[in-house]
A = this chain, B = another copy of it.
């Protein structure tokens, strides 16, 4: 008889993080593990003994399907990096005590860079102490910035949302262009890596010209050059659409969003005004060129829009989740499951296992060769790389006109007050 498995979710939400959770649960059951526990709010909640038995929530195939299509972490998440082992050995002992108490054999952590650091440290500690548990990482991040894996689950759905929304925003902007010009700035997530903002280029199809410029955080942003480019474009055309990363910064490293905030901008009540990158640039253009502008922030929707998930992404997230349990069951520890692209056309991928020491704390940026020389658009190679990842629709299960989600409690807004405090 095999023991138990525990799984946690960490870092920012994605549309498919729960598809990986569903994959973990299904393979764990198929491989004969007894219980599958879920940490509430990642390792941070687990340290406080916050966990659930997933069988209490996934009671049948429909629940499993609902879980696959529920965005944002079902179990709750955290942003927490474990201290170095030598800094707080007591904490590690506490975690392993809890794991032993629950008869845990396998510990799966679904997340990004910081989460892989957790897998690294816990597997290192197990090696040091001869603990029996095995630790496997499951990649997850819309940012697509994990090393070695071809891409990360979560990215494809965010890219699909971004490309679709960009296309719809362009369509909207075109409708009012008669004898007046307008400029739209779309702000897209990705503080350091430009994969997400690059996805806006996919909106360029037979029926859409796509954005005019795309600014990635990998390239220093020159405000004057940008303004001149917009001014030049407005002489040739009436509708200009620009996609910018929230992380663009000037050559000296100043975030554009910070440019607005370093000013003496206080409101009537004396509070500092916060303005985003898109709002700042839109305002600058409006003031200097006297043209109608609109700032569109895709905001948290780009990571949590389960209603527009990519089927390729949902399926891969599920497969990767299952592969983590398979890897651990076959004896691996201190590894992350990676996606390997087998073929571009037709698109095919498979999973492989890599040492997590090679992955943790390393951020994969967009290569310079995949950005044009001017630094204001992406190359066809980058578009070809992303295109297959947004394919297929994962239709949500609709109830009363809205996507249905699998959730831990009905009155979720209140559960912390009741359960923990």
How many chain copies?
A: 2
Total A residues in contact with B, Cβ cutoff 8 Å: 105
Kindly identify which residue among B40, B70, B271 contacts A283, using a CB–CB cutoff of 8 Å. Answer: B271
A129 at the interface (CB under 8 A from B): no
Task: Verify A401–B391 contact, CB threshold 8 A.
Answer: yes
Chain B residue contacts of A266, Cβ below 8 A: 263-265
CB-CB contacts of A126-149 with B at 8 A, as 1s and 0s?
000000000000000000000000
| A389-421 Cβ-contact flags toward B at 8 Å (1 or 0) | 011110100111111111100111110110010
Q: Which single residue of chain B is at the shortest CB-CB distance from A387? A: B400
> Once the chains bind, are A279 and B283 in contact (CB under 8 Å)?
no
Cα distance, A295 to B299, chains bound together (Å):
8
A38 to chain B, nearest CB (A): 13
Is A301 a contact of B296 with CB atoms below 8 Å? Answer: yes
Closest Cβ of chain B to A223, distance in Å, is: 9
What is the distance, in angstroms, from A299's C-beta to the closest C-beta of chain B?
Answer: 5
* Cβ contact within 8 Å between B412 and A209: yes
Q: Which residue from B72, B212, B308 sits with its C-beta under 8 Å from A413? A: B212
Interface residues of A in 300-359 (CB under 8 A from B): 300-301, 303-308, 310
Residue of B240, B284, B286, B300 touching A172 (CB-CB under 8 A): B300
Contact with B along A212-244 (1 / 0, CB 8 A): 100000000000000000000000111110000
A205 to B308, CA, bound (A): 20
Question: What's the least CB distance linking A148 to chain B, in Å?
Answer: 25
- Chain B residues near A72 (CB-CB < 8 A): 168, 171-172, 174-175
Expressed in whole angstroms, the Cα–Cα distance for A178 and B75 within the complex equals: 11
State in angstroms the CA–CA spacing of A308 and B9 once bound together.
28
**Could you tell me the distance in whole angstroms from the C-beta of A18 to the nearest C-beta in chain B?**
10
User: A75 to nearest B CB, angstroms?
Assistant: 9
- Cβ of A361 within 8 Å of any chain B Cβ, yes or no, is no
Rounded to whole Å, the gap between the CB of A49 and the closest CB of chain B is: 13
Q: State A122–B259 Cα separation when bound (angstroms).
A: 51
B-chain residues with CB within 8 Å of residue A178 when the two chains form the complex = 40-42, 44-45, 50, 76-78, 416
Report if A236-B301 is in contact (Cβ < 8 Å); known contacts: A171-B71, A287-B272, A401-B390: no
Stretch at the interface among A20-28, A158-166, A363-371: A158-166
Query: Most chain-B Cβ atoms within 10 A of its Cβ — which of A70, A284, A393?
Result: A393
Chain B positions within 8 Å of A40 at CB level: 178
Interface residues of A (CB under 8 A from B): 9, 13, 40-42, 44-45, 50, 70-73, 76-79, 160, 163-165, 167-169, 171-179, 202-203, 205-209, 212, 236-240, 259-260, 262-269, 271-276, 279-280, 282-284, 286-287, 294, 296-297, 299-301, 303-308, 310, 387, 390-393, 395, 398-407, 410-414, 416-417, 420
In the A-B complex, list the 6 residue pairs whose CB atoms are closest, starting with the nearest: A265-B265, A41-B178, A390-B401, A172-B304, A263-B267, A72-B171
Q: A44-B178, A209-B412 are in contact. List 13 more A-B contacts (CB 8 A).
A: A41-B178, A71-B172, A167-B405, A203-B402, A238-B413, A239-B413, A259-B268, A260-B273, A271-B287, A274-B282, A274-B283, A296-B297, A391-B401
